[in-house]
Amino acid sequence: MNYPNLEELIEVIRVLRSENGCVWDRAQTHESLRPNMLEEAYEAVEAINKGDVLNLREELGDVLLQVLLHSQIASEANEFNIEDVAKELKDKLIHRHPHVFGNAHVETPDDVVKAWDRLKQDEKKDRKSLMDGIPKPLPALAAAQKISKRAVKAGFEWDKVETLLECIHSEYDEFKEAIENKDKNAMEDEMGDIFFATVNLARWYKIDAEQALLKANLKFMKRFRKMEELAQKPLEEYSFEEFDALWKSAKKELANAK
């Protein structure tokens, strides 16, 4: 199987980084490209959320560009190259899929995940805690979800969802108490506990907390834009009651438009 475009793309990146290449590309480092890696990944996720396949193709290309740039930078420092990256990934995938490339047997996707985790543990023997290896740059909500899942793997789980819901209500009560005490530090701590407990509730029902909040953000922005369209005067002049009525009107119009 040949991939001429991929090979040509790798060569284009090499030329861009060469002495006769692009001054911007030549100036980049692993550190300077960090924001780009995050931004391109998020844009690819946005294309997936929209179901925009053509845009997804473009955004995946931008993600691939980041991979190739980092690989080329490492190659110039005689650290590794794109072939090393591909080999390491290939070896990892084969090792973690013994039910495909070996004699292991699994029945369900959950079985695959459990086997994957066991194999990953064997590979990461230097990790002393289940909390090790969680990337620090992860968005807080996504990190909380990962932390929660790690804890559950050790059996640290709520006995029933009702207990978890009681915990969330308790955290709200503690937050209100901190408000009454005008204790800003305690308010911040309790708000964090509310978020973390809510992430646990999402995990319990197999809801991706990060994606759920992203959808809520998009829904709010869509309704707010509709409010701006429907407004008969500057929004700054609206009372709370007028805002409430305008919000309900925007929500109704968007629902009828579906």
pLDDT digits (tens, 9 = 90+) for 61-96: 999 999 999 999 999 999 999 999 999 999 999 998
Q: Does residue 167 contact residue 199 with C-beta atoms inside 8 Å?
A: no
List Cα–Cα distances, 169 to 122, 163, 174, 178, in angstroms: 39, 10, 9, 14
Q: Are residues 203 and 244 in the same domain?
A: no
Q: Which residue has the tokens 């790798």?
A: 10
On whether residue 21 sits in a domain, the answer given is: yes
Q: What percent of the chain is predicted at pLDDT more than 70?
A: 100
Task: Fill in the amino acid letter for 189.
Answer: D
On whether residue 96 sits in a domain, the answer given is: no
On whether residue 56 sits in a domain, the answer given is: yes
* pLDDT tens figures, 166-188: 999 999 999 999 999 999 999 99
Pick the last residue of a domain from 80, 96, 115: 80
Q: Are residues 154 and 181 in the same domain?
A: yes
Q: What is the pTM of this model?
A: 0.68
Mean pLDDT of the chain: 92
1 pLDDT tier (thresholds 50, 70, 90): confident
Q: Are residues 199 and 226 in the same domain?
A: no
Q: Are residues 227 and 197 in the same domain?
A: no
Q: Are residues 223 and 168 in the same domain?
A: no
On whether residue 64 sits in a domain, the answer given is: yes
On whether residue 174 sits in a domain, the answer given is: yes
CA dist 14 and 8 (Å) reads 10
CATH number of the domain to which 154 belongs: 1.10.287.1080
On whether residue 202 sits in a domain, the answer given is: yes
Residue 90 is predicted with a pLDDT of 96
What is the dihedral sign for C-alpha 208, 196, 40, 97? negative
Q: Are residues 68 and 136 in the same domain?
A: no
What residues contact 204, with CB distance under 8 A and at least 6 apart?
Answer: 158, 161, 164
Total domain count, the chain: 3
Please give the average per-residue pLDDT across 198-213, as a whole number: 93
Question: What is the residue range of 72's domain?
Answer: 4-80
Q: Does residue 49 contact residue 214 with C-beta atoms inside 8 Å?
A: yes
Q: Are residues 249 and 199 in the same domain?
A: no
On the question of pLDDT at 193 being above 80, the answer is: yes
CA dist 35 and 66 (Å) reads 10
Higher pLDDT residue, 191 or 125?
191
Higher pLDDT residue, 235 or 118?
235
Please give the average per-residue pLDDT across 107-135, as a whole number: 81
On the question of pLDDT at 53 being above 90, the answer is: yes
Q: Are residues 173 and 232 in the same domain?
A: no
On whether residue 8 sits in a domain, the answer given is: yes
User: Closest Cα to residue 10, out of 78, 85, 77?
Assistant: 85
Q: Are residues 197 and 243 in the same domain?
A: no
Residue 107 is predicted with a pLDDT of 86
Q: Are residues 22 and 54 in the same domain?
A: yes
Q: Are residues 224 and 199 in the same domain?
A: no
What residues contact 37, with CB distance under 8 A and at least 6 apart?
Answer: 63, 66, 70
Q: Is 162 exposed, middle or buried (0-12, 13-18, 19+ CB in 10 A)?
A: exposed
Please give the average per-residue pLDDT across 39-43, as a whole number: 92
On whether residue 100 sits in a domain, the answer given is: no
Neighbours of 56 (CB within 10 A): 18
CA dist 231 and 207 (Å) reads 35
